[in-house]
Structure 1
Amino acid sequence: MSFTIHGLPVSQGIAIGHAHLVSRALLEVNHYHVAERHVADEVRRLDDAVAAVRDELGALKLTAASSHAHGEVGAFVDLQLIMLADPLLVDAARTLIQERRCNAEWAMVQQMEHLVAQFEQIEDSYLRERKADVVQVVERVVKSLIGHPGHLPPKRRDGLGTIIVAHDLSPADTIGFRDHNIAGFLTDIGGPTSHTAIVARTLAIPAVVGLHRIRELVEENELIIIDGTLGIVIVDPDEAIVEEYRLRRSELELKRSRLKLLRDTPSSTLDGRAIALLANIEGPGDVTHIRAANADGVGLYRTEFLFMGREDLPGEDEQFEAYRTVLKALAGRPVTIRTFDVGADKMLSMPNQREEPNPALGLRAIRFSLAEPQMFRTQLRALLRASAYGQLRIMIPMVSHVQELDQALTMIALARDELLAERHRIADRVEIGAMIEVPAAALAIGMFKKRVSFLSLGTNDLIQYTLAIDRTDDAVVHLYDPLHPAVLKLISGTIQAGTRLGMSVSVCGEMAGDPNYTRLLLGMGLREFSMHPTNVLEIKQQLLHADYSELAPRVQRILRMEEPARLREAVMRLAN
């Protein structure tokens, strides 16, 4: 029976294919006793399975790197590798086998359930959801133990791809699908920043998440249509609907082909206002995407992905090579490198790491850097050494107090003096900027005057902190609203104040890469947009057909609106 269900659209495009259900039933394992003389063999069987999974994850990490997949993918794989080495998981399962003479599968699942129960007691929503990583890595070990690698169905003769339907997907699973004929992803849980969403956008695979019971509602091999732009899922559609969506998909593919013709067209408005279109990246592997879109430079290099999911933190030389590679590859174009923004949803594996009741409001970003001066000094030295190879701009994240900025500037000056004394080559001038992510900073731009030369609006966190919601929690994700009147006033006020004080201002959050908001931001006076490289050409198309002199007064009228429905309607009219 045909039906339609709505979820959260997290990766654009249209997919038509047959369902393949990724089952969690593998964790419902049998429990049996092992003869005492076979206990050592059972422990050895567990160790062999863990070694096989470790090799599998290592191969997936290499696959992710070779395909220039999103930087977070490697970090998530590393996290599962760390879990495999955690004595609370595998060592405890070995002890269960030895003490209770049970089979390895049952021991792993018992220890998993014990750890999941501990995670569920944690108040912070992000850390609580890390229980999913424990479940996913145990599922891999159980698959290896019972000889069930979870192969995907073979390529179909009808030309249609496979739609993966699951309760949730790990990034390792998702990357593993890359070489198969995968058309799209559907999951019960998740939001715009979930694992599935991140990897689906990177691989340009349509995806809808937060469907709650899709895994129960769909049958294996059932025909499905995904509209990853509107968040619509149609199960068992009739032939007329399939043909309609085939036509829509062809139109989208034609549109993408046409966008490529804009690659070398200068980015400017109809009235001649030049606009910089910059890229957000996670590492050197993203340089190919920057070149494909011919972006004007890098507006945000997220360095924390060099640090995440590893037991040994990167040293000065490793960081220097990563930064230098990007600067050399983009010689002559600005590269804005953000100092590591860890904490909240991006945790490091460090000894004696304190447990925070609310990491999003705790020791994160510049606060973390100043609390770990040796780590910060190492990164600053690497950055300044790399400055000799291109146009480097250093950006300090989540500044809320002027003291934080002053301390950071002092450490930059000290690192510069050290390197010059050691006869290292450093650029004569390196611009320093601040990231505006909290309302306190947006409302007091004057304190940045004479301290920094540029500002960058991180709209993802600015919206989260302004509206007091956790943007990773699908229970409140519907309240995450870029068009809330308070949010728009903060964004517009920052752009206007920064420009008035002689500082360049960019937007590097999700709003910058959304064509629905391009003209709104332009009308506020924005001249630098920074986004995922795959969005650059679509935003350029919007700008080429926009007239700033006509938009500015219309946007000012929108900013005076207090009624959300009226405001939203006006913004949509502006975009179309």
Structure 2
Amino acid sequence: MKELTGIPASQGVAIGKAFLYVDDVFSQIPRYFLSKDELDAEWNRFREAVIAAEVEVRELRDRAQREMGEDQAKIFEAHLLMLADEDLQEQIQHRLHASQFNIEWVLWEISRELTQKLSASTDPYLKERAVDIYDVSRRLLHQLLSIKKLSLSDIQEEVILVTHNLLPSDALTMNKRWVKGIVMDMGGNTSHTAILARAFEIPAVLGLSTATREINDGELLIVDGTAGKVLVSPGVHMLERYKKVTLQLKKISEELQQLRDLPAETKDGHRVSLKVNIEVPEEAELVHRYGAEGIGLYRSEFLFLTPGQSADEEEQYHAYIKVVETMEGKPVTIRTLDVGGDKIIPDLQSTEEKNPLLGWRAIRFCLAHRELFKNQLRALLRCSVHGNLRIMFPMISGIEEFETALEVVEEAKRECQKKGAPYSEDIQIGAMIEIPSAAMTADILARRAAFFSIGTNDLVQYSLAADRGNERVAYLAQPFHPAVLRFIKQTIDAAHQAGIPAAMCGELAGNVRATALLLGLGLDEFSMSGSSIPLVKQIIRGTTKRDCETLATQALACSSYVEVNRLVNDWMKEHFPNLS
């Protein structure tokens, strides 16, 4: 048996035969010299391939719009823009005449240069743009070489899809009924594949690098999407173990489904709110599927970072209203643009910052680009009359930034009034607490904020000076560190003293080992991935607020994260032995 470890992108376990999907068109590219008399005919061949590819992409765009919504269709709008890009075509034509090599070779050379430049970026969103160039180039080469491509829609048996990279067009046509798991060399948690896998509840492990080289077609696999592991040709003992795990998970899922419409309320009557985090509008359906009480974090970056999206006021308004109306009155908390650090807008941001995670990002970036910021705020304000919408500012370091951001909101309101655009006068505006300075001055921020939402992902790395993306110091990023727990407690207490709710939208909110501890610390609202809600709700309904407060008191008295971990593990074994 061989074990591969990657990024756990979508929870669950899948067992099945590997379906090795490797498009090797790039290994079949011929290279030959042309005479000058042949160049015009060669260029005409390329133009015909572009026209044929445009027909294919339009069909994919229309299908995406029908099956997955407007936002996913825009991926293919971006592909159409690439196919029609005059500068790119001029570059290809110039290279064709300068080198006098066949058009397939010229196209491959240029696409390789572009994808290498984008792939070398540290920004995951720029890396995703390399995927789009690869997809378009591959489609053109199929046309030029007259290669009939195997379609993932043709799969007619249960398989584990093993591929180097699942391109947007592949994801759309994939037969989701038969694909039980996804194993991929490339990709991460923010990739199109990860979002699709979570939406369709397909266990997935991404970022494996060498999976397509180490796994043979038809080989038996176990995909553990929760642990981020892929077991290749497992032995009988391991297979039986995971089959039992699969049955247990199915049984637990069915049992937990019965909790869907029940409140997240402890045995002694203390009630909290469970909400979902979403990346794209299509994920809003998860609220209804898991019985959540709304959306606690709607990341708005996709509108600015997805190719083909203009992110103007109207574009944003229509995206937001789609989610708000889907919620049918349930609260939707939209985080304003949070770029910088590991998310870069190429036209507006430099990637040259020496320490981007401590640099020009989130609210700092927005306050420096007021027109861009006001475009978003006007769209949000206009949308507020259609449902229960709240606005949340990220990366607030202190009261000065928060008040300045509120001043920009007032400017946006005046502009809406001038245009005769209605908005809700009592729209709530809150602050994310993810910087130690904000946690330390939470009592001051609570005088102006309508609510707090604790972003534990950044709070952990800033509190402990440990870059969460650096594997060398990843061991330091411990959410149960006493410093982190004290910041959380201080934030919650400040919120309650001011009479405002305290929420959490970081990964810790969906960690079942942390549920009782966070309840004991006084957290009012937990926001997480939809699939985490059932287990978190089970723990809440299976304990008492008093027991959780005792646990929290003991945890705050610990001197190290090792002690807190031990305390929490012991508590879980005593109260929830089946989950520990």
Q: TM-score of the superposition, structure 1-length normalised?
A: 0.87
Moved more, 129-138 or 289-298: 129-138
- Tell me how far apart the structure 2 counterparts of residues 219 and 70 of structure 1 sit (CA, whole Å): 37
Q: Secondary structure of the equivalent of 2:513?
A: coil
- Tell me how far apart the structure 2 counterparts of residues 79 and 464 of structure 1 sit (CA, whole Å): 35
8 Å contact from structure 1 (residues 75, 308) kept in 2: no
- Tell me how far apart the structure 2 counterparts of residues 563 and 447 of structure 1 sit (CA, whole Å): 29
Matches within 5 A, 1:366-377: 366-377=363-374
Q: CA deviation at 1:172?
A: 4.5
Q: Secondary structure of the equivalent of 1:280?
A: strand
Is the aligned partner of 1:301 residue 2:277? Answer: no
Deviations 1:314-339 (A, max 9, x none): 44344334333433443443222222
Q: CA deviation at 1:205?
A: 0.9
| Residue identity matched to 2:107 | M
Q: CA deviation at 1:362?
A: 3.4
- Tell me how far apart the structure 1 counterparts of residues 137 and 306 of structure 2 sit (CA, whole Å): 18
The match for 2:386 is 389
Change (3 A) 1:439 1:70: farther
- Tell me how far apart the structure 1 counterparts of residues 133 and 314 of structure 2 sit (CA, whole Å): 33
Q: Secondary structure of the equivalent of 1:567?
A: helix
Deviations 1:167-198 (A, max 9, x none): 44445433442446212122335544455433
The match for 1:553 is 550
Q: CA deviation at 1:509?
A: 1.9
Q: Secondary structure of the equivalent of 1:271?
A: coil
Q: Secondary structure of the equivalent of 2:159?
A: strand
Q: CA deviation at 1:310?
A: 4.2
- Tell me how far apart the structure 2 counterparts of residues 519 and 66 of structure 1 sit (CA, whole Å): 42
| Residue identity matched to 2:12 | G
8 Å contact from structure 1 (residues 269, 544) kept in 2: yes
8 Å contact from structure 1 (residues 69, 199) kept in 2: no
Pairing partner for 2:497 from 495, 500, 507 = 500
Change (3 A) 1:178 1:570: farther
| Residue identity matched to 2:26 | L
8 Å contact from structure 2 (residues 124, 343) kept in 1: no
Q: CA deviation at 1:473?
A: 6.2
- Tell me how far apart the structure 1 counterparts of residues 484 and 74 of structure 2 sit (CA, whole Å): 31
Q: CA deviation at 1:541?
A: 1.6
- Tell me how far apart the structure 2 counterparts of residues 496 and 86 of structure 1 sit (CA, whole Å): 55
Change (3 A) 1:312 1:4: closer
The match for 1:97 is 96
The match for 2:114 is 115
Pairing partner for 2:335 from 338, 343, 355 = 338
The match for 2:459 is 462
Gaps of 5+ in 2: 573-579
The match for 1:138 is 137
Q: Secondary structure of the equivalent of 1:250?
A: helix
8 Å contact from structure 1 (residues 14, 225) kept in 2: yes
Is the aligned partner of 1:448 residue 2:445? Answer: yes
- Tell me how far apart the structure 2 counterparts of residues 422 and 362 of structure 1 sit (CA, whole Å): 35
Q: CA deviation at 1:55?
A: 5.2
Change (3 A) 1:327 1:193: closer
- Tell me how far apart the structure 2 counterparts of residues 86 and 344 of structure 1 sit (CA, whole Å): 30
Is the aligned partner of 1:204 residue 2:201? Answer: yes
| Residue identity matched to 2:95 | L
Pairing partner for 1:273 from 270, 275, 281 = 270
8 Å contact from structure 1 (residues 89, 108) kept in 2: no
Q: CA deviation at 1:480?
A: 4.8
The match for 2:575 is none
- Tell me how far apart the structure 2 counterparts of residues 476 and 85 of structure 1 sit (CA, whole Å): 45
Matches within 5 A, 1:182-261: 182-238=179-235, 241-261=238-258
- Tell me how far apart the structure 2 counterparts of residues 327 and 127 of structure 1 sit (CA, whole Å): 29
Q: Secondary structure of the equivalent of 1:262?
A: coil
Q: Secondary structure of the equivalent of 2:499?
A: coil
Q: Secondary structure of the equivalent of 1:517?
A: helix
Is the aligned partner of 1:37 residue 2:37? Answer: yes
Change (3 A) 1:185 1:540: same
Is the aligned partner of 1:23 residue 2:57? Answer: no
Moved more, 117-126 or 239-248: 117-126
Cα RMSD of the aligned pairs, angstroms, is: 3.4
Q: CA deviation at 1:201?
A: 1.7
- Tell me how far apart the structure 1 counterparts of residues 119 and 223 of structure 2 sit (CA, whole Å): 32
Gaps of 5+ in 1: none
| Residue identity matched to 2:410 | A
8 Å contact from structure 2 (residues 13, 203) kept in 1: yes
Moved more, 163-172 or 456-465: 163-172
| Residue identity matched to 1:10 | A
Deviations 1:445-496 (A, max 9, x none): 1331322111111223333444455545677766654334443333333223
| Residue identity matched to 2:30 | N
Q: CA deviation at 1:408?
A: 1.4
Is the aligned partner of 1:536 residue 2:530? Answer: no
Matches within 5 A, 1:345-384: 345-348=342-345, 350=347, 354-357=350-353, 358-384=355-381
Q: Percent identity over the alignment? A: 36
The match for 1:513 is 510
| Residue identity matched to 1:16 | I
Q: CA deviation at 1:117?
A: 5.0
Q: Secondary structure of the equivalent of 1:92?
A: helix
- Tell me how far apart the structure 1 counterparts of residues 62 and 476 of structure 2 sit (CA, whole Å): 38
Is the aligned partner of 1:263 residue 2:298? Answer: no
Deviations 1:220-252 (A, max 9, x none): 221212122233322223556445433432332
| Residue identity matched to 2:41 | D
The match for 2:429 is 432
8 Å contact from structure 1 (residues 194, 472) kept in 2: no
Deviations 1:425-459 (A, max 9, x none): 33231111111222332232133132211111122
8 Å contact from structure 1 (residues 366, 396) kept in 2: yes
Q: Secondary structure of the equivalent of 1:233?
A: strand
Q: CA deviation at 1:272?
A: 0.9
| Residue identity matched to 2:259 | L
The match for 2:577 is none
Q: Secondary structure of the equivalent of 2:340?
A: coil
Q: TM-score of the superposition, structure 2-length normalised?
A: 0.86
Q: Secondary structure of the equivalent of 1:307?
A: helix
Change (3 A) 1:516 1:139: farther
| Residue identity matched to 2:102 | N
The match for 1:565 is 562
Change (3 A) 1:429 1:48: same
8 Å contact from structure 1 (residues 307, 313) kept in 2: yes
8 Å contact from structure 2 (residues 335, 394) kept in 1: yes
Q: CA deviation at 1:551?
A: 1.4
Q: CA deviation at 1:528?
A: 0.3
- Tell me how far apart the structure 1 counterparts of residues 363 and 561 of structure 2 sit (CA, whole Å): 34
Q: Secondary structure of the equivalent of 1:269?
A: coil
The match for 1:524 is 521
8 Å contact from structure 1 (residues 124, 359) kept in 2: no
Q: Secondary structure of the equivalent of 1:219?
A: coil
Change (3 A) 1:99 1:532: same
